[in-house]
Chain A
Amino acid sequence: MTAVSNQTRRTMPATGDTLLDVQNLEKFFPIRGGLLSRVVGNVKAVNDVSFKVGRGEVVGLVGESGSGKTTAGRAILRLIEPTGGQVLFNGTDITKLSKGQMRDYRREMQIIFQDPFASLNPRMTVSDIIGEAMQIHNLHPGKQRVDRIAELLQKVGLRPEHMRRYPHEFSGGQRQRIGIARALAVDPAFIVADEPVSALDVSIQAQVVNLLQDLQEELGLTVLFIAHDLAVVEYICDRIIVMYLGRVMEIAPSRELNRNPKHPYTEALLSAAPVPDPTVKRQRIILEGDIPSPINPPSGCVFRTRCRYAIADCANIVPELREVSPGHFKACIRDDIL
């Protein structure tokens, strides 16, 4: 197999040129009710989220279920329309683009879905699925297209003859590869990988993670890698963004985050992951209770209801994301902890 390719050198975050700049992104889902089904409330799925992603960088987005990771990822690609904020891609604010203009940008930005079963149209063959993107953008017309599809299949570790098969004839891991091939079909610069391995078994998960990493390095892709399992994210990402209840809690280089979490939520998240070593008996920080409702998030810091360091002020002040050390940001008012 190909060894690790050295063709692309990674640039450090934020220092190099920024590919993606998300500013105050916001996505509220209206809740309707009442006599005339007026909007009576909002699910604040993503609330005032800002971050940058450098060209060629792999950034992780973690947080527990329902924290708004998927929503953020899709809003960035405008698969759902954000209700507020801006997404600058290569300097252009894509939230302002028309449908037609957006179509050109779609070539540049792709997504791999969490669920390898729901994200492939069960009525289309693999070649239809992968070829569709090319057809839309008129890439590789005619005979070339088949070759290109075959090439992509090989690249993700499938065989060309799989082209004629339907998704239900593949295992979960294989399906996820098809999803990856589809995303790669248009030669994108940026990929949102939305929990691409969460639905997979550990042994398959490793296969897919390795594949993603290879492709990223080989093609110089910029990746927003969404997950809730810090172990995987840490392994593959340069930087990590931690979200909780629609807000960013902490951003830091992955090694820094792992070694030196500055936010109580990150700390708890890290400690919660079970360590596959029976000899290590770690003291875990158990978060009490469940994630609150995003319709009525707690005032002030949204994490305070489960935070063991919470103080009275936490209920009053919405903590800002501030840089506590170079490249390390946190949204917590307390500096005396951790």
Chain B
Amino acid sequence: MTHQGEVLLAVNGLKTYFSTDDGVVKSVDGVTFHIKKGETLAVVGESGSGKSVTSLSVMRLIPTPPGKIVEGEILFTGKDGVQKNIVTLSEADMRKIRGNDISMIFQEPMTSLNPVYTVGDQIAEAVMLHQGKNKKDAMGVATDMLRFVGIPAPEKRVNEYPHQMSGGMRQRVMIAMALSCKPALLIADEPTTALDVTIQAQILDLMRNLQKEVGMSILFITHNLGVVAEMADRVVVMYGGRVVEEGDVVDIFQAPRHPYTMGLLNSIPRPGEYEHVPGQPKGRLEAIPGNVPNPLNLPPGCAFEPRCKFAVPDCSKAVPALEDTGHGHMSRCIRWREFAQAQREVTA
């Protein structure tokens, strides 16, 4: 990891809104985070918390209308070493960044590839676009990339169509496509959610290995905490379009300082932890009650307050600020100090 410490991408106060028939959806409402070179940043959060919108904002692929980046800046340092604000870049300049400096892979491997072109064509397209290679050379690159992501017989597979491949293979193709131009940043939006556990394991393994070889940064979006634990260096937890907690992966898992993070952690069944004795009642998963709030109708204060078991009257007064709780571990909860205290007591 060569440039550890240098900030590659910095998102500051990003606001992306959608105007719908029913009103304005503040999908991303003042999100701030950064990614350093070579680092993997995981973004977690429930469905609808704004993870995808954030990543699409970084790619400037928000469908407009109805969506629009209304505020904030996205500062990115490309391969050329120049820092640019993605929000204000021209469309032509943005196209040079997409697929070249920043690549993206999506959740649905089955539908994210164009069914009428061969996978080789689709990988080569990016190569031709950004590296000025001719078709033949680009296809060569495509074959190499397929081999790189571990697809057997890449010379043959390069001429196959997506439907001839399984979900896992398609996701590898997506990765190959994303990596074909050696991007500085890879955005992976729930790359394994649609996959089976065994295939998920393959893909995660692959991504980790590739990252080591290529040395890129990864913005990894998921709501699967197990995956986060395996992949991430740092974690951003989102809720209701805002970052509610941010910190080192170990800190987040061991000393969460936001009730939502705690709830999430508690609701996962962990293999091997529930060895209940036959005949005895089983324990309970500690679920977060209720549903994600309606993004049209967020509570005035902390968005999590209606579902929070630590809620106090103050929580609904104003949106809490994102505070540093020490060592870059940030939390958007007015009671974080109490949690920190409690954690210290437990460890003590």
Contacts and interface: CB of A to CB of B under 8 A. Distances in A.
Q: Is there direct touching of A and B in the complex, by C-beta distance under 8 Å?
A: yes
Interface of A: 4, 6, 9-10, 12, 64-65, 171, 173-174, 201-207, 209-210, 213, 217, 228-232, 234-236, 238, 253, 255, 258-259, 268-280, 284, 286-291
Contact of B201 (A9, A65, A234, A286): A286
A273 B46 CA distance: 20
A229 B291 CA distance: 23
A202 B281 contact: no
B291 A174 contact: yes
A187 B163 CA distance: 44
B274 A235 contact: yes
A255 B275 contact: yes
A160 to B, nearest CB: 18
Contacts of A213: 282, 284
B258 to A, nearest CB: 14
A229 B202 contact: no
Interface centre among A174, A206, A238, A274 (most CB of B within 10 A): A274
Given A203-B264, A205-B267, A64 B200 contact: no
B326 interface: no
Given A274-B230, A290-B199, A238 B278 contact: yes
Given A206-B288, A287-B202, A234 B230 contact: no
A203 B226 contact: no
Contact of A290 (B166, B197, B282): B166
A201 B275 CA distance: 24
A286 B202 contact: yes
A173 B268 contact: no
B226 A276 contact: yes
9 smallest beta-carbon distances between A and B, as pairs: A274-B226, A206-B267, A206-B287, A272-B201, A235-B269, A4-B281, A276-B225, A206-B285, A290-B166
B271 interface: yes
Contacts of A253: 278
A64 B166 contact: no
Nearest to A258: B272
Given A201-B47, A274-B229, A276-B228, A171 B291 contact: yes
10 contacts: A4-B282, A174-B291, A202-B46, A206-B288, A207-B287, A235-B282, A275-B271, A278-B230, A280-B229, A291-B166
A310 B58 CA distance: 47
Contacts of A12: 278
Measured as residues with beta carbon below 8 angstroms from the partner, the interface class of chain B is 35 or more
Contact of A204 (B166, B197, B284, B291): B291
Contacts of B148: none
Contacts of A286: 198, 201-202, 205
A274 B200 contact: yes
B184 interface: no
A253 B281 CA distance: 16
B253 A65 contact: no
A10 B288 CA distance: 28
B168 interface: yes
Contacts of B288: 203, 206-207
A230 B269 CA distance: 10
Given A10-B278, A210-B284, A287-B202, A231 B223 contact: no
B47 to A, nearest CB: 5
B229 A209 contact: no
B74 to A, nearest CB: 27
B129 interface: no
Interface in B278-312: 278-279, 281-282, 284-289, 291-292
Contact of A231 (B229, B230, B270, B284): B270
A311 to B, nearest CB: 22
A217 B230 contact: no
Contact of B271 (A203, A209, A270): A270
Contacts of B226: 273-276
Contacts of B46: 201-203
Contacts of B202: 286-288
B197 A232 contact: no
Contacts of A209: 269, 285, 287
Interface in B186-231: 196-202, 204-205, 223-230
Nearest to A284: B201
Given A255-B275, A277-B253, A290-B168, 10 more contacts: A64-B199, A202-B225, A206-B266, A207-B288, A207-B289, A209-B287, A231-B270, A232-B269, A235-B269, A276-B265
A275 B200 CA distance: 13
Nearest to B230: A274
A24 B228 CA distance: 41
A188 B213 CA distance: 56
B179 interface: no
Nearest to B282: A213
A206 B200 CA distance: 21
